[in-house]
Amino acid sequence: MRWIVPAVLLLAACAPAPARQPVHTFEGSARVLLTVQTYRLTFTENRVTHDIRGTLVNRTSGDAFQATGTLLPATDGDLLTADISAGDSPRLNATVFGIGLRDVPLKAGALLSGTIRHDAFAGSLRVNGFSSALSMKRVQ
C-alpha cells in the first residue's frame, strides 16, 4: 500500500504537459471606401486542430470584434481565414411607415483571409460585399 502513492506521483510526472497555445498579435491598416482604418488582430492558435480564436479591433473607431477561424500551414506561408462577428452588439428594432425592422445588427460581420509569411500578414477584409486589402505586421 505504501508504494502506491510514489508510483502514482511518478506516473503523473511522466504525463505530458498541456501544450501552450501561442498568442499572435498583428497591427496594420486597410483602405475602407475612402478612409484608412487601422486594425489590431490578436489570436491564440491551437496547433493540433489549427483553430484560432481572438479579437479584431478597429483602432480608428474603437470597435472590437470576435475572430474565429483556421490557420493552416502551407509551403509559402500560413493561410489564415477567420469569420469576424460583432458578438453581442446593439441591434435595431424599429418601424417606419408600417415597415418593421427587427433584430438588425448595427455592426456588420466580415471575412478576414490572407497569408502570414514570416512576420507579415497580407490579405483582405470583406465587409458587406466590399473587399479591402489589409496588410499587417507582427508586433509581439
Q: Which residue has the cell 480608428?
A: 60
- What would the DSSP string read from start to end of 24-37? EEEEEEEEETTEEE
Position 83 confidence tier, pLDDT thresholds 50, 70, 90: very high
Q: Which residue has the cell 491551437?
A: 46
Q: Is the pLDDT of residue 33 over 90?
A: no
> Which of 62, 64, 60 is CA-nearest to residue 30?
60
Could you tell me which residues are beta bridge partners of residue 59? none
- Please list, in sequence order, all residues whose beta carbon lies within 8 angstroms of the beta carbon of residue 112, skipping any fewer than 6 positions away: 41, 56, 67, 69, 80, 81, 82, 83, 84, 123, 124, 125, 126, 134
Asked if 59 contacts 31 with a C-beta cutoff of 8 angstroms, the reply is no
Q: Where are the domains of the chain?
A: 19-138
Fold assignment, 19-138? Lipocalin (2.40.128)
The whole-model pTM stands at 0.74
| Span 40-71, pLDDT tens digits | 999 999 989 999 999 999 999 888 899 999 99
